[in-house]
Every structure is written in C-alpha cells, then in structure tokens.
Structure 1
Amino acid sequence: MTTTTDTFPTYDDVKAAKDRVHGIIRPVPVFEIDRNTFGTARTFLALDFMQVSGSFKDRGAANFIGAHLAAGTMPDAGVVIASGGNAGLACAWAAQRHGIKATVFLPTTAPAVKVAKLRTFGADVRQVGKEYAEAAAAAAEYAATTGALASHAYDNPYIAAGAGTLLSEIHDQVPGLDTVIVAVGGGGLFAGTAMAAHALGVRVVAVEPENCRALNAAIEAGEIVDVEVNSIAADSLGARRTSETALYWARRAEARSVLVTDEAIRTARALLWDHRHLAVEHGAATALAALTSGAYKPGEGERVAVVLCGANTDPSGLVTT
C-alpha cells in the first residue's frame, strides 16, 4: 500500500481502492434537495446507505478483503472483526462473496435488526460486553488464538481508503462541490473522505454527537484521547477513541469539527423521514443535524454534500399515526 513518510494512507490509496472495488460496490445516488433550504446554499444528499449491507462500510470491507485475497494473505480461519453492527455487516457480506468465514463480535447493546441481518450473511455472531471496546478485546483474543485475519471497524488503511472512494463519486456528480459533511465515529469514513477532499479541493466537516466526540476531543487535545460514549447514535458512532489516521488527516485537510445534540440528531432523522421518506440510522442523521441545528452554516451559494451513511435501523419509531 502506498503511504506517506508518516505511514498514513493517501489519496493514491483511495484511487487504488476505487479500482479494486469497481463493479462490486454500488455507485452512490446523489440528489439535490429544495433550493434555499439552508440559505442560498445548494445542498445534496448522498445516499450511501443503499449499499448491499445497508451502509458505506461495504466500500472498506470490499477493499480490505480484495487486497488480502490478491496478496495471498487470507488465512483458512477467515476474518474476524468487532463492530457496533455496520462494519460487521459489511465484513460478513464481503467475506460471503468469496466463501470466506467471518466471525463478528458485537456488544450486547447492538440493535437487534443488525444482529439478525448479520446472520443472513452467514456470519458467526458473538455478543460480548456492553460497549464496542469490550467486543474489540474479545475479537483480538480470537484472532490471536485462531489465526483469523483481524479486520477493524475503522482503524485500518484499506478500510479508510475504501471509504474514501465515496467522495470521488460525489465529486463526479456535483460539479463545483465546495463542502462535504460526514458523521464521525471512530474515523474510518472521515479519514478516507479527508484524503479525497484534500486532493480534490473540497472542505470537509466532521460531525459528532456532543457525548461521542472522539475526533473532536483528539483535535482539541492534540493527541488521541479516550472519551465517554453516551448518545442515541452510539451504536454506529460510539468509538471511545479515534484513529491516528483520522487525527492526521483532520489536521492536514484542515477539517472543521462540530458537535450536535441528541435532540438535533432525532430532529434531523425525523425530517428525513417526514420530507423524503428516508429511514436512516441516528448515526447517518448526525451529518444532516449539522445543517438543521446550525452547527455548520454554509456560505452564500456554497455547494454542500451531506453523506447519509447507514440505514440499518428499525423504522417503526419514525412512523406516526
């Protein structure tokens, strides 16, 4: 894999990932919402939850599995990953395509809809602990004892580079794109997006729940720190710490980091259902909440793309009678 002298993945890795996953992942649909919704800005929604597993995570998983198969480094024991749900789903989907065993460790708090969907992809599902960190420790022990290839929900160069393929697709569909807004958990999507944004001259806005702020806290402290995880979006954004790659690219791309409340996230999610009939996760609605809450205010005529990254959710709470 191509890296900088600091050993972090770059846009060259994103371009390699784009070639590797071409024809495997689904191109992202992008559409513009009503003009003047956010001042004079033009706002576009990127629906990457329409991937097979229900989230953008398919991009990184397909790149990770494909790269290891090409290199001959996929063991007979298959692949193992810890996840809040979406990364495990994507890993299981990518592994199933190639007849590879996938073992997925989840916290006991993972949404039932994600656990059930994992089993449809043939994954060996194991639930451990109440937080992602506990599931991650169990997955690491499993890898050490079985020889399974350890994947990661976000802190892996192939995973991040695969996620970065999304922005190049959005950029192709929105000429003159100024800004991309993404929700941040551990930082895989953000890191890949920032790599691409830096190369393409696009501003990147990183959005986190105020009580799940791993990247924001790292930027503030100037180093990786542990944070509390307490948000309605914690099932997909609940990492206790961000990755070194995410922090590196936040600095290099001069990313804007903003925080939103859980109430703002709920409101944005309801708006997507009420006005667009889009049923997304709270984690996906977090990106839009930056606009609807005013945490990020676009400038005059700014062209803004909002990434809706996942829809593995129970929509029953969205429907009113």
Structure 2
Amino acid sequence: MTSVSLDEDVLAEGADRIPAEQVEETESGDADPPPGDAAPQGRVLRAGEAGRSPEPVTVRPDEIATQDESGSDPAAPSGPDDTETDAPPADGADDDPDENEPTRTDAEWRAHLEEKVEAARAEGYEEGHDDGYEVGYDDGYAEAEATLRAEFDDTRRQLSEDITRFEELWETYIDDAESEIIELTLDLAETIVDAPFTETMRQASEEAVIEAVTELAATPPVTIRLHPVDCQRVRESGLVTRLQENYEGLTLEPEPDFEEGDWSVSSPTGVVRRLRAEVLETLRGELRRATTDSGAAPDTAPDTAPA
C-alpha cells in the first residue's frame, strides 16, 4: 500500500497531480495482492477532488501516475471506475447512527421520564388554572350580582315599609298634637279672660258697651246688664250717667248669673253681648273647624273644572 500526505501546497490551486516525492510505499503483509491477469482499477486524485484534511490518504501503487521527462500528462487509465467522482466513504460512515448515540441507564431514563411528566403536569396545571379562573370569575360575578340585587331589593322594601310606618305615626302625632294645641289655646284664652281687668281692658270693655248702645238706641228702651261688681264700677265712673243723658229710656240692671266682665245690651230690635262662656265656645269651634278644613283640604278637589 502507498500512503499519500495531502498538505496545503499539494492542494493549492493549479496542482493537477500529486508529486511523486510525496508518495511513500508501505508494505502490508495483510494486504491481498491483486489478481495476476486483472488490470488494476484506480483513478487519479486531483487537487479539486481531495479534501483539505492533513491526514494521509491511502491509495494503491498502481494508482500513482508520474510525469515523464517531457512534462506531458500520462494517459488516464481506462476502466469502469473512470466515470466515478465520489470519494470512498469515510471510516464508519455506513455504521448505524443509533450505535453512535450513548446508551442511557435506567436511572437516566427514569429521570428523563419524570422530567417530561413534571413538564406535562405544570402545563396542565397552568391551563387548568387559567380555565378555572375564568369560569370561577364568571360564576363569582353572577353570584355577587344576584346577592347585591337581593340585598338592594330587601333594603328598598324595608325602606318603603319604614316610610309608610313613619307617615302613619306622623298622622297620628298630628291628630294628637292638634287636639293638644286646641286644648292649650283654650286654656290660654281662659287664663286671659279670667285675668283681672287692667285699665286698658276696662276702657276697651266700656267702649264696646257704648258701641252696642249706640247701635240699638234707635228703638228704645235699651237695657244694659252687668255683673253686680261691674254695675257698681260703671256707676262710680259716671259712664251710665253720660249714656242716660244722651239716650232716653236707657236703664242699668245687675245680673247675678253673669261672671265678672260679662255684659249685655238689649232692645226690642236685638241683643249685643259679650259672655265669657260663649267666647270660649266660639273660639273652640273656630279652632276645630280650622283643623278639620286643613286636614281635608289635600283630599278635596273641585267636581268640575273652572270655566
């Protein structure tokens, strides 16, 4: 066998042949000699066809072509291999690729399997978490909305009931308050009426008597009735004397049934009087009528529209 070392000078551009001085023959006892009559098969290695590997390439001796002294290229050997351009496969190229992969132990396979299972579990957990969160959010929102709506309806119902109860209590309070106000007003009026006459009140009472006498004097006789105490007072003041001078047929009579401050002026055509009991009763009636009208006013409406 012959060993050829392909260095970068040999493989440089323009080198068509391998120089003879770079070819070394090595004897191999294990190599089989070529058959006697068979022509050696081989091809010429050109620089463009060889790789740039610095490792030696093994070729057969009969494949070495040398240049003659004239420098002309020898004729290329003929044979069926002349048309082949592929280099022989590298060592171990046809080996099974699975044989080159490292063999895993049971522990490595178990760790690899656990890693895959853990990755699948994490992915499933993340997907399930996202789906569960979305579903839970929708369900929680719907539940919260229903709860708030129920609470709102319940609160509104309670508020309506409280308003109705307040209106009822307010009406009851107003009714009771009106009665109390009427009684309080009457008590105040009685207190005022029962109070001792001041000089101003006495003058006002005398003026009222004079006005009544003037109104009824056209049809004599005219009679003035007073409480006995009041009769004595008007006689002392000279009021009766002045009235008798101006109006004929005028008389003054005491009335024991009257209360102090009551008076009455009468003639054939009518009577004008001021009695404490009648004043209080009139005041009570007016107050009750006013409260009744105010309570019935919102519910009353005219039967016909105004023209």
TM-score bracket relative to the smaller structure? under 0.3
Higher strand share: 1
TM-score, length of structure 1 as denominator length? 0.19
Kindly indicate whether structure 1 or structure 2 has the higher relative contact order, using CA contacts under 8 Å at least 6 residues apart. 1
Highest CA radius of gyration, 1 or 2? 2
TM-score, length of structure 2 as denominator length? 0.20
Higher helix share: 2
